[in-house]
Amino acid sequence: MKSKLKNGIALFLPVQIVFVKWLANYPAFIEEYYSNGLYQYISIFFRYLLGWIPFSVGDILYASLIILTIKYLITKRQYIKKKPLVFLRNIVVVLSIAYFTFHFCWGLNYYREPLYKTFSINENHSITELESFVSRLIKKTNTIHTSITADSTKAVVMPYSKEEIYNLTTIGYTELQKKYPLFNYQTPSLKTSLFSTGLSYAGYGGYLNPFTNEAQVNGKIPLYRYPVVAGHEAGHQIGYSAENETNFIGYLVTVNNKDKYFKYAAYSYALSYCLSDIRYNDPELFNQLYAKLNIGVKKNYQELSTFWNNYENPMEPVLKSVYSTFLKANNQKDGMKSYSRIVTLLVAYHQKHSL
């Protein structure tokens, strides 16, 4: 690549940043022309192109880039010392290309209309409303748990393989689309991440590769939690970037599945977020509500807690802090805390729709 072209690409980075921040002021425009327009063609193209491949192309792409970067730094170390400004310019060139590709392929979805507006539901809830909802959700969770295990003390064991869960998730989207056409999910591309161990140590259940539009699920998480994570990542694929919204979509697509194991996964998932919210604000009320849960449901929660505890490491808070900063830079002011904002969506949604 010629030096003048590199300079031009590097100088284009600040222009892009200003343009994206300006465009963020027009969510209705992004909603109509990007999220429900251009992006739909981009995402379907990549899913047609890569969805049939049984492994994650995006994971291999990331691994290759890391290896090539290390190789470049080693082989070009003398050149870098001699021409540090050129090296910095080259870094900015790479960042400029990555920034453009990210926002073109997926990232502008961060600035679309929020889902609570699309559903015409409230953005806030009271502790009384939350307590009422959780009481109903506990009954629902206990009932479906007992219908599966026939014993309130036994944990639910998911009887499906990962591939079967992916297929059932796709079926769930077909059912959900009948109610809400905006959740149209064509040509699925759900895959188990090749970096599942790394994701576990980083504390993540999955991720969407914005450059290949492949939804990656952490293959090591307990299977009873797998359906909602798969639904969450597929939610990113269809154009929703906010983590609270894709948590909510993961719940909706899983609870609308006719399979009782999926319904249990959805109810217990929603309940875990709601109970965490109550524990933070009112520990005494949390203890009262938690005591009403079947022992088997508590065992499933303990299974998940034990899994994450086994992968605790000193770098996890650092990685989450970096990702939280990334989220804040992309229109999610609460950072990692945005995941838990699913509670408001759950309460508000079920005020309009029976549980």
Give the pLDDT confidence of 278-315 residue by residue, as tens digits.
988 889 999 999 999 999 999 999 999 999 999 987 76
Residue 334 has a pLDDT of 60
In angstroms, the CA 26 to CA 107 distance is: 15
Closest CA to 268 of 247, 248, 292, 251: 251
What pLDDT, on the 0 to 100 scale, is given for residue 4? 86
What is the per-residue pLDDT across 246-266, written as a single tens digit (0 to 9) for each? 999 999 999 999 999 999 999
pLDDT for residue 58 is more than 60: yes
Most confident of 72-76, 169-173, 324-328: 169-173
% of the chain beyond a pLDDT of 90: 76
Task: Look at residue 240 and tell me whether its pLDDT is greater than 90.
Answer: yes
- Amino acid at position 212, single letter: T
Chain mean pLDDT for the chain: 90
Q: What is the pLDDT of residue 181?
A: 92
**Residues 307-352: pLDDT tens digits?**
999 998 776 565 556 545 655 566 556 644 544 588 999 999 998 8
Residue 110: predicted pLDDT = 93
Indicate if the pLDDT at residue 205 is higher than 50: yes
Look at residue 195 and tell me whether its pLDDT is greater than 60: yes
33-53 pLDDT per residue, tens: 999 999 999 999 999 999 999
- The average pLDDT across 203-226 equals 95
More confident residue, 316 or 32: 32
Mean pLDDT computed over 117-124? 83
Please tell me the predicted confidence (pLDDT) of residue 324. 52
Residue 122 has pLDDT above 90, yes or no: no
What's the Rg (C-alpha) of the chain?
22
